[in-house]
Amino acid sequence: ATPGMLFQKDKDISIHPLDLSWVFGYNSSLAVHSLMDGQDRVLLYISSHTVVIHDILQNRQYHLQGHTNVISCLCVSEDKRWVVTADQGPDALIIVWDSYSGLALMQFFEFQDYVIFNPQNPHEFVSNSKTQVIFYLWVSRAMGSPWLLSPQTFKCRVGQFSQSVFHFNTTQALTGTSAGKLVVWDMDNPRTLPEELPAKPHGVTATKVVSMQKESLTVLQVLESCIVTGDVEGQVKFYDGQLRLLTIYSHDKVGPIQSISFSTILRDPPSAPPDSSQPFLTRNFILSTSDATMFHVATDSTNFERIMEEAKKAVNAIACHPQEPLVAVGSHCGLLKVWEYRQTKYLVSRIFTEAGIQCLSYDPEGHLLAAGFTDGSVYILDAISLQSICKEFQFSQGPVTHISFSHDSKYLATADENYTVTVYKRVLEKGSRCWEHLAGLESHYKPIRSLLFGVHSDSPEPRLLSLGADRQLVEYDLKSSIKDHLVVTHRDRLEQDAVPLCLTWYPQLSAESFFITANNCYKMKLYNTTTKMCRKTLLGPTYGSPLEKIQILPRTSSADPQQHYLVYITKDKVKPQDVPGTPTFICHPDGASDFAISHDGRYVFTAGGRERTFMKWKVNLPALDAASFLGGEDLIPFYNLLDGGRDGKFFRELEDYFYYVQLCSQGIGTLETRQVSTHIPLEEIPSVMRAIGFYPSEEEIEEMINEVKFSKYVDTGEEVTKINLDDFIKLYINHRPALDLSMKTIQKAFQVLGYDNEKGDKVIDRGDFLLLLQRRGELFCFYNQEMLVHSAHHLARLLATKILGNHRFNWSEKG
């Protein structure tokens, strides 16, 4: 392996439906390392859970992926080949990488804030947190004792520890502090040769504290025969072995220094007078600051070249241009940047100092870019220059969470944290187009989850919908709305118990039009756009958290017109989907805040929120199709979701119940010739569902029956009156709860229903409980109670006695 060889790998060959193509932004709290300098300026830094090796001059990246949590610690060897990363969280990992080949060599499962090896003795290293320093000696897993310093130790304020190093020519170690001091540590029993190492670690004593400056020291390093410090004022200072100041590098644009990384390439020394006291530094270096900026410093000219400036706060807003390969990204620090994503080139930016950017949207023509801010303001910008085309609007009382243009660019709608939908309208004023506020309405009483424009089926007029966590879908009549009066045409409750989380239009695959929702119970539902009737329920992905946002992937010109793909994000994952079974990809372990899809459907962009990063993913549809094919065709994926599968006991019982209902529908005692059938009447669906342990509510029963009854109505004009076993299995898998009912959920319900007794415990009387069931929520009369209790028991009894001949079953047992 040689430096830079990993960039020679063929990245076009992939077996994954999504491939990480580029990472924008980085973790400015960790160090940035210079791997190569000169003709190949290569940096290594951390973005979220990914190690990025970035060739600045050639504009290319290579990604080391293996962590499932945000990387919290990074260390690079002196020769810049070996990289060690660690994360914190569930299943935490420590990984050793080869930066030449990009391979992960070792993984360890434990941890401190900073660690460094002794360059004079590879068997020694030192680590520190903010309050303690630990010295290690590599002998039979031995470890030194942690040191805690207080103001009484040296009768002065020491401050919090930042970084530690071994002195280059003594048996001492140094630790920088937030009070601008250096703590000097002496070894009691030093050993310099590895073969003469003692049997147990030697002692370490803090001998003195040296006051270097008033400003906090954030970085401490050793370079050849110099001690190097970096501070919160952006100054880099070089000292000799006696801690005497040699030179200072500073620039007024440099913020608090987070790391310093020196090049491995030596420059030729310039000709200088023999009596020159200015030390000559033969290595350029990379500075990274806590405000997410990187500088390349040429030590021969003290030139500070800014090579990267990224978001300083959460990145929550992202939008793709509808026609060009452009992506706009907004941050809570007010930074708005536009990139050309095919060549990964930064184009233009603008900084808003008044508030942070929360959401973005391009208009369908691509001429305008609208931005919603954390202070409730709305800006409408020119999509190219990012200059405002009109004065900003301030009609929202809270942060703007959603923003969207209508298909004809005549309307702009926003939703805010105060549950209000606000609409702006484009008008002609003195012969030129401008925007004005139309109206606003507090249309929900819980957070608004989606805001969606569409087109009416019988006219080209725009259609506006909002979906809230209050389970309400609200439709607005824009044509009838007037100044300060937003008209609502329909208000529909979509869910009985679950909370809808997102909404989008479903592709027009038939004469019937749908929109699709996803809820917090891991279900996706298709609703008729006119009647709002639930037409189909589907089991959604169950990868840790429910779907937070969904979009239909735009089709390429060569794609099958009947083949469409859904892209979604959960709390921390992104995935394109055709059918269940394909893998998801962790995009932002600390939470994905938003995503956008390129106009040609080739790229997906995810925003990382407080991670301050966003990522570009390349879509690989052939790999997605292959993964879906391997997941099985027809009923195979559904059989795999049954307890025991196709050959299990549960499936055999389901068959028995299903066929027994056929006998019941023709009459158990009939002596007439039976009609052999593979179907049962729709009205028997609830009985079989309850017999196998799924007890749907009356509304869920209605949805199941309607789903089957009207499945062919648009095509044939006739209602379906029966269902076969295969379709029943699909119906059961899609409608049953995605997760088992836990005791915690039951206890939580009784905490709500119950009342405190004299001991302070939550209790409820049996009679009160029955009254609640009958009078509150869905109608639950005495007949319903008896039916639920006895239907499964009765069906199982008849099945056992009439079909299986099980006369030994004790029917007095409670089941």
CATH of residue 637's domain is: 1.10.238.10
C-alpha–C-alpha distance, residues 257 and 232, integer Å = 6
The segment with the largest mean pLDDT, out of 484-493, 581-590, 653-662, is 484-493
pLDDT score at 633: 77
pLDDT score at 467: 97
| Residue where a domain stops, chosen among 79, 111, 143 | 111
Q: Specify if 43 maps to a domain.
A: yes
pLDDT score at 584: 63
**Strands, E assignment, 715-777:** 722-724, 755-756, 762-763
Handedness of CA 783, 784, 787, 790 (dihedral sign): negative
Q: Specify if 702 maps to a domain.
A: yes
Instruction: Pull the structure tokens for residue 100.
Output: 């030449």
Q: Specify if 510 maps to a domain.
A: no
**Is residue 386 within 8 Å of residue 369, measured between CB atoms?**
yes
Write down the pTM of the prediction: 0.85
The segment with the largest mean pLDDT, out of 289-303, 721-735, 799-813, is 721-735
pLDDT at 182 over 80: yes
The domain tally of the chain equals: 2
Q: Specify if 289 maps to a domain.
A: no
Handedness of CA 637, 641, 644, 650 (dihedral sign): negative
pLDDT score at 626: 81
CA end-to-end distance (rounded Å), the chain: 67
**Residue with token string 């030697």:** 202
pLDDT at 803 over 50: no
pLDDT score at 580: 41
pLDDT at 174 over 80: yes
pLDDT score at 581: 39
Q: Specify if 638 maps to a domain.
A: yes
Three-state secondary structure of 298-345: ECCCCEEEEEEECCCCCEEEEEECCCCCEEEEEECCCEEEEEECCCCE
**Is residue 117 within 8 Å of residue 110, measured between CB atoms?**
no
More confident residue, 320 or 667: 320
What pLDDT digit, counting tens, does each position of 553-585 carry?
Answer: 987 665 666 778 889 998 888 877 754 434 567
Going by pLDDT thresholds of 50, 70 and 90, the confidence category of residue 191 is very low
Going by pLDDT thresholds of 50, 70 and 90, the confidence category of residue 811 is very low
524-538, 701-715, 772-786, range with the lowest pLDDT: 772-786
What pLDDT digit, counting tens, does each position of 78-110 carry?
Answer: 888 889 888 888 888 888 899 988 888 877 665
The one-letter code for the residue type at 668 is: I
C-alpha–C-alpha distance, residues 265 and 296, integer Å = 14
The segment with the largest mean pLDDT, out of 168-172, 552-556, 637-641, is 637-641
Mean pLDDT, range 180-206, rounded to an integer: 65
Q: Helices 725-735 and 649-666 sit at what angle, rounded to 10 degrees? A: 120
Q: Give the phi and the psi of residue 725 in degrees, each rounded to 5.
A: -65, -40
pLDDT at 800 over 80: no
Judging by DSSP bridges, how do beta strands 60-65 and 421-429 pair with one another?
A: unpaired
| Residue where a domain stops, chosen among 86, 111, 136 | 111
Q: Specify if 665 maps to a domain.
A: yes
Q: How many secondary structure helices (H) and strands (E) does the chain include?
A: 11, 55
Q: Which long-range contacts (CB under 8 A, 24 or more apart) does 692-698 make?
A: 692/650, 692/653, 692/654, 692/657, 692/732, 693/792, 694/732, 694/735, 694/736, 694/737, 695/788, 696/735, 697/496, 697/497, 697/778, 698/778, 698/779, 698/784
Report the candidate in 136, 86, 75, 130 with the shortest Cα–Cα distance to residue 108.
Answer: 86
Q: Specify if 107 maps to a domain.
A: yes
More confident residue, 444 or 150: 444
**Residue with token string 């001492």:** 172
Q: Specify if 773 maps to a domain.
A: no
Instruction: Pull the structure tokens for residue 132.
Output: 């303690």
**Is residue 352 within 8 Å of residue 336, measured between CB atoms?**
yes
Which residues, in sequence order, are bridge partners of residue 476? 464, 488
Mean pLDDT, range 220-240, rounded to an integer: 92
Q: Could you tell me the residue range of the domain that residue 685 belongs to?
A: 632-738
C-alpha–C-alpha distance, residues 37 and 308, integer Å = 16
pLDDT at 271 over 70: no
Cβ–Cβ contacts within 10 Å for residue 56, how many? Answer: 17
The segment with the largest mean pLDDT, out of 155-169, 330-344, 571-585, 732-746, is 330-344
C-alpha–C-alpha distance, residues 469 and 323, integer Å = 33
pLDDT at 609 over 60: yes
C-alpha–C-alpha distance, residues 438 and 649, integer Å = 62
Q: Give the phi and the psi of residue 680 in degrees, each rounded to 5.
A: -130, 155
The one-letter code for the residue type at 499 is: V
Instruction: Pull the structure tokens for residue 95.
Output: 């990984």
| Residue where a domain stops, chosen among 738, 773, 794 | 738
Mean pLDDT, range 330-340, rounded to an integer: 96
